């Protein structure tokens, strides 16, 4: 049976607001509301994984505004990228036979292939760590690669049976981590604007899942709660530096 999922408006925000919004959609998923949203960052921002020490910010990365994510993994420089957030309620009807990280990356891979950009997923046994701090230098099963460079990575968090998955799709090289090439840096790759790519990925997600994606707005409860989460956690220096 087809499921209905709320498609939230494409938007850009600062790091603390983006992470607070992701936590809000997870809380709504606990109550039975499934959501998908795509977003960008209003300024280059570093996010650390939930368990990552704040001291991992080296001299170069320490220049950036930063936030701690609610999911694990290593540091991400959010600059020339598109970010997605998928929140699914508890229940067997939302479970995928394929791990959701792999499924999301396969959707991205098909969209890229349709536009002449070849990519592949890392498989078990190919894991490698090319640097100590930055997530996109850690290549783990399911990550999406173009010519050996990681261009898509995702992480998850669960709450009372609900699932939050958010991930970064690297579009272009950032001056803050020039060693990391994005999709548009690949030879012959077309230009992908974040909003346009979000629209194409939305259509591909609906086709892949067979679900109905319905454009929707934030609820009044969410709009009230996001600033509260932001103040308590993601904009709170003590919370961000707790490790």
- 184 among known catalytic residues: no
Spatial distance between the Cα atoms of 22 and 85, rounded to a whole number of angstroms: 7
Q: What is the 3-state secondary structure (H, E, C) of 3-66?
A: CEEEECCCEEECHHHHHHHHHHHHHHHHCCCCEEEEEEECCCEEEECCCCCHHHCCCCHHHCCE
Helices (H), 73-163: 100-114
Spatial distance between the Cα atoms of 147 and 119, rounded to a whole number of angstroms: 7
User: What 3-state DSSP class applies to 208?
Assistant: helix
β-pair partners for 169: 82, 152
Helices (H), 62-150: 100-114
Give backbone dihedrals phi and psi of 3, rounded to 5 degrees, phi first: -100, 155
Catalytic residue among 102, 124, 135, 184: 135
3-state helix, strand, coil in the chain (%, to 5): 35, 30, 40
Spatial distance between the Cα atoms of 83 and 168, rounded to a whole number of angstroms: 5
From the centroid of its chain, how far is CA 129?
20
Residues labelled catalytic: 135
């Amino acid at each position: 049976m087809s499921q209905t999922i709320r498609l939230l408006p494409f938007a850009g925000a600062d790091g603390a607001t983006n992470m607070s919004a992701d936590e809000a959609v997870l809380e709504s998923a606990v109550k039975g509301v499934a959501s998908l949203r795509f977003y960008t960052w209003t300024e280059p921002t570093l996010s650390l994984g939930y368990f990552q020490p704040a001291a991992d910010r080296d001299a170069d990365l320490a220049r950036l505004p930063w936030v701690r994510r609610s999911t694990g993994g290593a540091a991400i420089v959010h600059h020339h990228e598109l970010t997605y957030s998928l929140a699914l309620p508890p229940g067997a009807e939302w479970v995928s036979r394929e791990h959701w990280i792999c499924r999301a990356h396969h959707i991205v891979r098909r969209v890229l292939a349709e536009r002449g950009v070849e990519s592949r997923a890392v498989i078990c046994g190919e894991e490698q760590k090319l640097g100590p701090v930055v997530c996109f230098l850690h290549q783990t099963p399911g990550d999406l690669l173009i010519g050996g460079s990681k261009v898509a990575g995702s992480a998850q968090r669960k709450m009372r049976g609900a699932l939050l998955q958010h991930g970064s799709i690297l579009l272009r090289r950032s001056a803050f981590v020039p060693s990391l090439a994005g999709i548009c840096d690949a030879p012959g790759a077309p230009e992908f604007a974040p909003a346009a790519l979000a629209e194409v990925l939305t259509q591909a997600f609906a086709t892949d899942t067979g679900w109905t994606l319905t454009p929707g707005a934030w609820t009044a409860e969410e709009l009230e709660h996001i600033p509260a989460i932001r103040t308590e956690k993601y904009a709170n220096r003590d919370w961000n530096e707790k490790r």
